[in-house]
Amino acid sequence: MDRDRKVLAATLRHPVSERQDELEVNGWAAESVQGSMAELAAHSVLASTGNYGDSVRAVTAMGLVLWGSDPGGLDETRFWGE
């Protein structure tokens, strides 16, 4: 996992600016989305340790936005196996 942290962190930064409306529709405050959300998600992946409740929520929200489909299809993760 350590090998791919930077790629995943970069991947999670982009949906915040590009898909702000979707995040807000899903319940995120505009101030959070426009503020620290991208860095919160990226740093939570880069840190690799700690107890980050809000970070988990941010990463999950961006994953759902990137997925763009029914969340039921998220039962299997292939990112780390490729």
Q: Give the pLDDT confidence of 29-77 residue by residue, as tens digits.
A: 888 888 888 888 888 778 766 656 667 777 788 788 888 777 776 666 6
Q: Is residue 11 part of a domain?
A: yes
Q: Is residue 76 part of a domain?
A: no
Give CA–CA dist 11/6, Å, rounded: 9
Q: Is residue 81 part of a domain?
A: no
Which pLDDT value is given to residue 60? 80
DSSP string, 16-54: HHHSHHHHHHTT--HHHHHTTHHHHHHHHHHH--S--HH
Q: Is residue 20 part of a domain?
A: yes
Which pLDDT value is given to residue 75? 63
Q: Count of residues for the chain?
A: 82
Query: What is the enclosing helix (H) or strand (E) of 82?
Result: none
Range of the domain at 21: 2-68
Which pLDDT value is given to residue 80? 62
Question: Strand, coil or helix: what is 34?
Answer: helix
Which pLDDT value is given to residue 13? 84
Q: What is the mean predicted confidence (pLDDT) over 16-29?
A: 85
Domains of the chain: total: 1
Give CA–CA dist 14/29, Å, rounded: 17
